Amino acid sequence: MPENTEKKRVLSLIQPTAVPHIGNYIGAMRNWAGMADGYDCVFGVADLHALTIRLDPAILRKQSMEAFAMLLALGLRRGNNVVFCQSQVPGHCQLAWILNCYTQFGEASRMTQFKEKSQSHADNINVGLFTYPTLQAADILIYQAHFVPIGADQKQHLELARNIAERFNGVYGPTFVVPEPYIGKLGSKIASLQEPAKKMSKSDPNPRASIAITDPPDVIMKKCKSAVTDSEAEVRYAEGKDGINNLMTIYAACTGRAFEEIEREFQGKGYGDFKRAVGEAVIAELKNFQEEYARLLADKAYLKQAAAEGAEAAARIANRTVDKAYRKVGLWDFRR
């Protein structure tokens, strides 16, 4: 894909270790394909980051392929976007080492995600967990990304990437674009179906708490029907009705209807009717994505070709940044 220098670049990577849920889809993913009209977009599968936990190699390969297929199924077409797998672009690791040398130990030790993951993986507190944010900074800076869509849990990591870029630029002159958080169309915040006071999470141990975007229709319906509500049996958006508020938010996001319309639609009806309607709306919302995802998974040759093309396009951008960083720090390039 020819690089478009007139547009600002947006970068977003997904990990292959957990299937995104309906909140991820509504809040961000379904809008990604349309971003190509206004931005130069780079999307990838962060499979190197998945190595911080021990996975069966065959499972990691399978999940990485599935995550790549998910990106394509969202409509991220070759020619409009760069779509790639992180491990297939060696520059990520090359730049990460340089950035490690420009990251202060105190900065890395303050990363809250390292503390949290160290507790949840106490039997495998590896150096990769500690340097994870620096690799993430390399992911961003290597593509000279202007914007990065982030959630609240990633603000600290983006700030580190900004600090590293500014520090490096301050020593060697302009080298990296200093990235900003991407503030796009406000997405709906979706809560857990079982604990609606908490946000929906891919890592929730309760399988009924979240709807994965690959869940089949019957599973989606069961999860919606089992969603926690209240004893009022009145569909209205109000304080203290977290469960119904959450279901109304999902229904509104999938149908485009305002809360007032939803309240009128279900006036005099019980929660059973409403939960069934929410399930049907989610199933309809995901239908095209799921059909395209299934089609892509059945065409392994196409996925391999698309992944190879994506890696080549990503490497063209990444290699220029690595070469520039190598020259700036004084690494000898005997090819010149």
> For residues 241 and 207, is the Cβ–Cβ distance under 8 A?
no
> For residues 20 and 60, is the Cβ–Cβ distance under 8 A?
no
Name, in order, each residue with C-beta under 8 angstroms of 41's C-beta and a sequence gap of 6 or more.
Answer: 9, 10, 11, 12, 32, 35, 76, 80, 81, 82
Out of 8, 189, 202, 324, which one is annotated catalytic? 202
> For residues 74 and 32, is the Cβ–Cβ distance under 8 A?
yes
**328 is a catalytic site residue:** no
**199 is a catalytic site residue:** yes
Place of tokens 């590896």: 126
**DSSP secondary structure, 121-185, as one string:** TTT---HHHHHHHHHHHHHHHTTT-SEE---GGGHHHHHHHHHHHHHHHHHHSS-S---EE---S
Sign of CA dihedral 226, 227, 231, 233: negative
> For residues 191 and 242, is the Cβ–Cβ distance under 8 A?
yes
Q: Which amino acid, residue 23? A: G
The strand order across the sheet containing 40-45 reads 81-85, 40-45, 9-14, 147-148, 180-181
**304 is a catalytic site residue:** no
Out of 199, 223, 241, 275, which one is annotated catalytic? 199
Say how far apart CA 194 and CA 29 lie, in whole Å. Answer: 23
Name the residues annotated as catalytic.
117, 199, 202
